[in-house]
Amino acid sequence: MEDKQVQTGISLYELNKMAMRQLPPQNKNKLKKSLKSIGGWFSVPPTDKQWFMLLCREKADYTIFHFVDFNYKKGIQELEECIKDRGQLFAIDYIHEENAYEIWIRDPETKDVSMYMLFNCPQMIIEA
């Protein structure tokens, strides 16, 4: 994912972040439906999709999920817990071009939002 600059010198990420700050959180039903959709996405072949990363570059926050027994229901529970540890789930959107999810989380203290990408990352794993 590139950090594209617009003529004002503000990155696309910063523009998205400013827009997200102005919006209300997605409604709970949409968030629940999106989380369920992630569970289905976790289980889509190929079978090498056992490793997924939740990444926030801005905060240098990296979490890898490894599905040993393909227990996607537990994976969703773990993802929800991981999100709760970081703040309030604000929005979830599937990005087709990236085959990834943008997950926006609001920090409970600063009230600022940060975007976390959830994507398949088997190329980042070295097994020896």
Q: Could you give the count of Cα atoms lying within 13 Å of 105 in the half-sphere of its Cβ?
A: 25
User: Is 36 within the bounds of a domain?
Assistant: yes
Q: Which domain holds residue 92?
A: 26-124
**15 part of a folded domain:** no
Structure confidence by residue, pLDDT tens digits, 12-70: 888 888 888 888 888 999 999 999 999 888 887 666 668 899 999 999 999 999 887 77
User: What tokens does 111 get?
Assistant: 């009230």
pLDDT tens digits, one per residue of 72-114: 888 899 999 999 999 999 999 999 999 999 999 999 899 899 9
Decide if pLDDT at 1 tops 60.
no
Residue 60 lies in a domain: yes
Q: How far apart are CA 16 and CA 114, in angstroms?
A: 10
Domain for residue 9, yes or no?
Answer: no
For the chain, how many residues are written?
128
| Domain assignment of residue 109, yes or no | yes
Q: Report which of 111, 45, 32, 107 is spatially closest to residue 76, judged by C-alpha positions.
A: 32
Indicate whether 120 belongs to any domain.
yes
Which residue carries 């990420």 as its tokens?
13
